[in-house]
Chains A and B, each alone.
Chain A
Amino acid sequence: MPANTRDILRRIKSVNNTKKITKAMEMVAASKMRRAVNMVLATRPYANLSWNTVLHLSQIKGTEFHPLLKKKDKYNKILLVLISSNRGLCGGYNVQIVNKATKSIKKHNDGIKKTEIITMGKRGAEMIVRQGYNVVSDFEKPDLATGIHEVRDLSNLVINGFLKEKYDKVMVAYTDFVSSIKQVPRVKQLLPIDLASDDEYLGIVGKDERVGLTKEFIKEKAEKYLKKEKHSFEYLFEPNDKEVLNQMIPRLIEVQLYQALLEANASEHSARMLSMRNATDAAGEMIEDLTLYYNKVRQASVTQEISEISAGAMAMNK
Chain B
Amino acid sequence: MSKKINFEIVTPERTILKDKVESITIPTQKGQITVLSGHIPLIAILAPGEIIVKNEGKDKVYMAVSGGFVEVLVNKVVILADTAERAEEIDESRAQEAKERAEKLKEEKRGDAREFAALSAKIEKEMARLKVARRRRKI
Q: Which residues of A contact B (CB under 8 A)?
A: 42-43, 45-47, 49-50, 53, 57, 148, 221, 225-226, 228-229, 231, 234-239, 243-244, 247-248, 251, 255, 258
Contact = CB atoms under 8 A, between A and B. Distances in A.
Contacts of B8: 45, 49
Task: Please classify how large the interface on chain B is, using the bins under 10, 10 to 19, 20 to 34, 35 or more.
Answer: 20 to 34
Contact of B71 (A53, A148, A231, A251): A53
B30 A43 contact: no
A234 B40 contact: yes
Q: SS class of chain B's interface: helix, strand, loop or mixed? A: strand
Interface of B: 8, 10-15, 28-30, 40-45, 69, 71, 73-76, 78, 80
B27 to A, nearest CB: 12
Nearest to B78: A49
Contact of B45 (A46, A49, A238): A238
A237 B80 contact: no
A247 B76 CA distance: 22
24 contacts: A42-B14, A43-B13, A45-B8, A46-B11, A46-B12, A46-B15, A46-B80, A47-B12, A50-B80, A53-B71, A57-B43, A225-B74, A225-B76, A228-B74, A235-B43, A236-B41, A236-B42, A237-B44, A238-B30, A238-B42, A238-B45, A239-B29, A244-B44, A255-B12
Contact of A49 (B10, B29, B43): B10
B43 A236 contact: yes
Closest 3 CB pairs of A and B: A238-B44, A225-B73, A236-B42
A56 to B, nearest CB: 8
A235 B12 contact: no
Contacts of B44: 237-239, 244
A238 B78 contact: no
B13 A53 contact: no
B10 A53 contact: no
A244 B69 contact: yes
Given A42-B15, A248-B69, 14 more contacts: A45-B8, A49-B80, A53-B71, A53-B78, A53-B80, A225-B74, A228-B74, A235-B41, A235-B42, A237-B42, A238-B44, A243-B45, A244-B45, A244-B69
Contacts of B75: 225
Contacts of A226: 41, 73-74
